[in-house]
Structure 1
Amino acid sequence: MKHFLIEITYTVPFSTLEAVVPEHRAFLQTGYDKGWLLLSGPMNPRTGGIVVARAPSQEDLQYFFSGDPYALRGFALYRFVEFDPVKYQPFLAEWIQEAP
Protein backbone atom coordinates (compact mmCIF):
# COMPACT_ATOMS: atom_id res chain seq x y z
CA MET A 1 0.00 0.00 0.00
CA LYS A 2 1.07 3.55 -0.68
CA HIS A 3 0.49 6.33 1.83
CA PHE A 4 -0.87 9.81 1.13
CA LEU A 5 -1.68 13.17 2.59
CA ILE A 6 -4.71 14.63 0.83
CA GLU A 7 -5.29 18.35 1.03
CA ILE A 8 -8.85 19.35 0.19
CA THR A 9 -9.30 23.03 -0.66
CA TYR A 10 -12.80 24.48 -0.86
CA THR A 11 -13.57 26.38 -4.06
CA VAL A 12 -16.69 27.95 -2.56
CA PRO A 13 -17.36 29.63 0.79
CA PHE A 14 -17.95 27.19 3.64
CA SER A 15 -21.51 28.52 3.98
CA THR A 16 -22.19 27.19 0.45
CA LEU A 17 -21.07 23.63 1.19
CA GLU A 18 -22.09 23.42 4.86
CA ALA A 19 -25.31 21.54 4.04
CA VAL A 20 -23.26 18.87 2.18
CA VAL A 21 -20.94 18.12 5.15
CA PRO A 22 -23.05 15.15 6.37
CA GLU A 23 -22.93 13.58 2.87
CA HIS A 24 -19.17 14.21 2.69
CA ARG A 25 -18.63 12.56 6.08
CA ALA A 26 -20.78 9.57 5.07
CA PHE A 27 -18.65 9.28 1.93
CA LEU A 28 -15.46 9.40 4.01
CA GLN A 29 -16.84 6.62 6.21
CA THR A 30 -16.80 4.32 3.17
CA GLY A 31 -13.05 4.96 2.96
CA TYR A 32 -12.66 4.15 6.65
CA ASP A 33 -14.67 0.97 6.13
CA LYS A 34 -12.30 -0.04 3.28
CA GLY A 35 -9.34 0.49 5.59
CA TRP A 36 -7.97 3.26 3.36
CA LEU A 37 -8.43 6.28 5.66
CA LEU A 38 -6.62 6.82 8.95
CA LEU A 39 -7.83 10.28 9.93
CA SER A 40 -9.53 13.33 8.50
CA GLY A 41 -10.75 16.72 9.56
CA PRO A 42 -11.30 20.34 8.63
CA MET A 43 -8.52 22.90 8.47
CA ASN A 44 -8.57 25.92 10.75
CA PRO A 45 -9.78 28.27 9.43
CA ARG A 46 -12.40 26.27 7.52
CA THR A 47 -10.93 26.61 4.02
CA GLY A 48 -10.62 22.88 3.40
CA GLY A 49 -9.63 19.63 5.05
CA ILE A 50 -6.82 17.12 5.51
CA VAL A 51 -6.95 13.33 5.11
CA VAL A 52 -4.25 10.76 5.84
CA ALA A 53 -4.83 7.70 3.69
CA ARG A 54 -3.39 4.59 2.09
CA ALA A 55 -4.36 2.90 -1.15
CA PRO A 56 -2.91 0.52 -3.74
CA SER A 57 -2.09 3.52 -5.97
CA GLN A 58 -2.62 7.25 -6.31
CA GLU A 59 -4.93 6.57 -9.23
CA ASP A 60 -7.12 4.35 -7.02
CA LEU A 61 -7.29 7.06 -4.38
CA GLN A 62 -8.04 9.77 -6.92
CA TYR A 63 -10.84 7.63 -8.35
CA PHE A 64 -12.23 7.10 -4.85
CA PHE A 65 -12.23 10.84 -4.08
CA SER A 66 -13.89 11.61 -7.43
CA GLY A 67 -17.05 10.27 -5.75
CA ASP A 68 -16.84 12.74 -2.85
CA PRO A 69 -19.97 14.91 -2.75
CA TYR A 70 -17.69 17.99 -2.66
CA ALA A 71 -16.00 16.86 -5.89
CA LEU A 72 -19.28 15.94 -7.56
CA ARG A 73 -20.61 19.46 -6.91
CA GLY A 74 -17.36 21.23 -7.83
CA PHE A 75 -16.97 22.51 -4.26
CA ALA A 76 -13.33 21.40 -3.73
CA LEU A 77 -9.96 20.67 -5.27
CA TYR A 78 -7.76 17.79 -4.11
CA ARG A 79 -3.98 17.58 -3.82
CA PHE A 80 -2.51 14.10 -3.31
CA VAL A 81 0.96 13.87 -1.77
CA GLU A 82 2.47 10.40 -1.59
CA PHE A 83 4.92 9.78 1.24
CA ASP A 84 6.77 6.91 2.91
CA PRO A 85 6.03 6.66 6.65
CA VAL A 86 9.46 5.60 7.93
CA LYS A 87 8.92 6.91 11.48
CA TYR A 88 5.62 6.53 13.35
CA GLN A 89 4.11 5.75 16.71
CA PRO A 90 4.16 2.01 17.49
CA PHE A 91 0.36 1.84 17.70
CA LEU A 92 0.22 2.68 13.95
CA ALA A 93 2.50 -0.17 12.86
CA GLU A 94 -0.30 -2.56 11.95
CA TRP A 95 -2.17 0.01 9.84
CA ILE A 96 0.99 1.13 8.05
CA GLN A 97 2.44 -2.31 7.44
CA GLU A 98 -0.59 -4.42 6.56
CA ALA A 99 -2.77 -4.44 3.48
CA PRO A 100 -6.51 -4.17 4.15
Structure 2
Amino acid sequence: MFILSLTYVKSTEEADRFMAPHMDWVNVGYDRGMFLASGRKNPRTGGLILARGERAELEAYVAADPFTVEGVAVYEVTEVAVTRTASGLEALKD
Protein backbone atom coordinates (compact mmCIF):
# COMPACT_ATOMS: atom_id res chain seq x y z
CA MET A 1 0.00 0.00 0.00
CA PHE A 2 1.09 3.56 -0.59
CA ILE A 3 0.34 6.85 1.12
CA LEU A 4 0.23 9.72 -1.36
CA SER A 5 0.55 12.87 0.72
CA LEU A 6 0.09 16.09 -1.20
CA THR A 7 1.01 19.48 0.16
CA TYR A 8 -0.10 22.74 -1.40
CA VAL A 9 2.78 24.95 -2.50
CA LYS A 10 0.38 27.64 -3.72
CA SER A 11 -2.60 29.25 -2.01
CA THR A 12 -5.86 27.40 -1.39
CA GLU A 13 -7.46 29.89 -3.78
CA GLU A 14 -5.11 28.65 -6.50
CA ALA A 15 -5.85 25.04 -5.51
CA ASP A 16 -9.58 25.78 -5.82
CA ARG A 17 -9.03 26.90 -9.43
CA PHE A 18 -7.85 23.37 -10.27
CA MET A 19 -10.03 21.40 -7.86
CA ALA A 20 -12.55 20.16 -10.49
CA PRO A 21 -9.89 18.66 -12.80
CA HIS A 22 -8.03 17.30 -9.76
CA MET A 23 -11.21 15.57 -8.57
CA ASP A 24 -11.74 14.13 -12.07
CA TRP A 25 -8.20 12.74 -11.79
CA VAL A 26 -9.01 11.31 -8.33
CA ASN A 27 -12.18 9.67 -9.66
CA VAL A 28 -10.24 7.97 -12.46
CA GLY A 29 -7.79 6.67 -9.83
CA TYR A 30 -10.72 5.02 -8.05
CA ASP A 31 -12.15 3.71 -11.34
CA ARG A 32 -8.78 2.13 -12.17
CA GLY A 33 -8.72 0.41 -8.76
CA MET A 34 -5.62 2.28 -7.57
CA PHE A 35 -7.19 4.47 -4.88
CA LEU A 36 -8.64 3.08 -1.66
CA ALA A 37 -9.42 6.23 0.34
CA SER A 38 -8.77 9.96 0.06
CA GLY A 39 -9.49 13.30 1.69
CA ARG A 40 -8.30 16.75 2.69
CA LYS A 41 -5.82 17.44 5.44
CA ASN A 42 -7.14 19.45 8.36
CA PRO A 43 -6.08 22.24 8.45
CA ARG A 44 -6.40 22.47 4.68
CA THR A 45 -2.77 22.27 3.61
CA GLY A 46 -3.22 19.47 1.06
CA GLY A 47 -4.63 15.98 0.99
CA LEU A 48 -3.96 12.30 1.42
CA ILE A 49 -4.67 9.27 -0.75
CA LEU A 50 -4.31 5.62 0.22
CA ALA A 51 -3.37 3.72 -2.93
CA ARG A 52 -2.29 0.33 -4.19
CA GLY A 53 -0.37 -0.78 -7.23
CA GLU A 54 3.16 -0.58 -8.54
CA ARG A 55 5.26 2.36 -7.38
CA ALA A 56 6.32 3.39 -10.90
CA GLU A 57 2.70 3.37 -12.10
CA LEU A 58 1.54 5.44 -9.11
CA GLU A 59 4.38 7.94 -9.51
CA ALA A 60 3.53 8.34 -13.20
CA TYR A 61 -0.13 8.85 -12.31
CA VAL A 62 0.77 11.44 -9.64
CA ALA A 63 2.83 13.31 -12.25
CA ALA A 64 -0.35 13.64 -14.35
CA ASP A 65 -2.46 15.14 -11.52
CA PRO A 66 -3.53 18.66 -12.55
CA PHE A 67 -2.27 19.85 -9.14
CA THR A 68 1.19 18.54 -10.07
CA VAL A 69 1.08 19.78 -13.66
CA GLU A 70 0.02 23.28 -12.58
CA GLY A 71 2.52 23.43 -9.70
CA VAL A 72 -0.21 23.71 -7.07
CA ALA A 73 0.96 20.80 -4.92
CA VAL A 74 3.86 18.42 -4.41
CA TYR A 75 3.50 14.77 -3.48
CA GLU A 76 5.37 12.53 -1.08
CA VAL A 77 4.90 8.85 -1.95
CA THR A 78 5.44 6.46 0.97
CA GLU A 79 5.21 2.69 0.70
CA VAL A 80 3.78 0.87 3.72
CA ALA A 81 3.82 -2.88 4.30
CA VAL A 82 0.50 -3.28 6.11
CA THR A 83 0.63 -6.34 8.36
CA ARG A 84 -2.40 -5.80 10.59
CA THR A 85 -5.76 -4.10 10.15
CA ALA A 86 -9.01 -3.59 12.01
CA SER A 87 -11.85 -5.89 11.03
CA GLY A 88 -13.22 -4.97 7.63
CA LEU A 89 -10.02 -3.38 6.37
CA GLU A 90 -8.20 -6.54 5.29
CA ALA A 91 -8.03 -5.26 1.70
CA LEU A 92 -5.32 -2.83 2.87
CA LYS A 93 -2.86 -5.68 3.50
CA ASP A 94 -0.24 -6.43 0.90
- C-alpha separation between the residues in 2 aligned to 1:75 and 1:20? 8
What's 1:73 paired with? Answer: 70
SS of the equivalent of 1:45 reads coil
TM (normalized to structure 2)? 0.91
Are 1:50 and 2:23 an aligned pair? no
TM (normalized to structure 1)? 0.86
Asked if structure 1 preserves the Cα contact closer than 8 Å seen for 2:30 and 2:36, the reply is yes
Counterpart pick for 1:60 among 57, 61, 79: 57
Number of residue pairs matched by the alignment = 94
Ranges in structure 2 where 5+ consecutive residues have no aligned partner: none
Letter in 2 for 1:14: T
For the structure 1 residues 4 and 16, does the alpha-carbon distance in structure 2 shift closer, same or farther, using more than 3 Å as the test? same
Alignment of 1:21-100 (within 5 A): 21-55=19-53, 57-93=54-90, 95-96=91-92
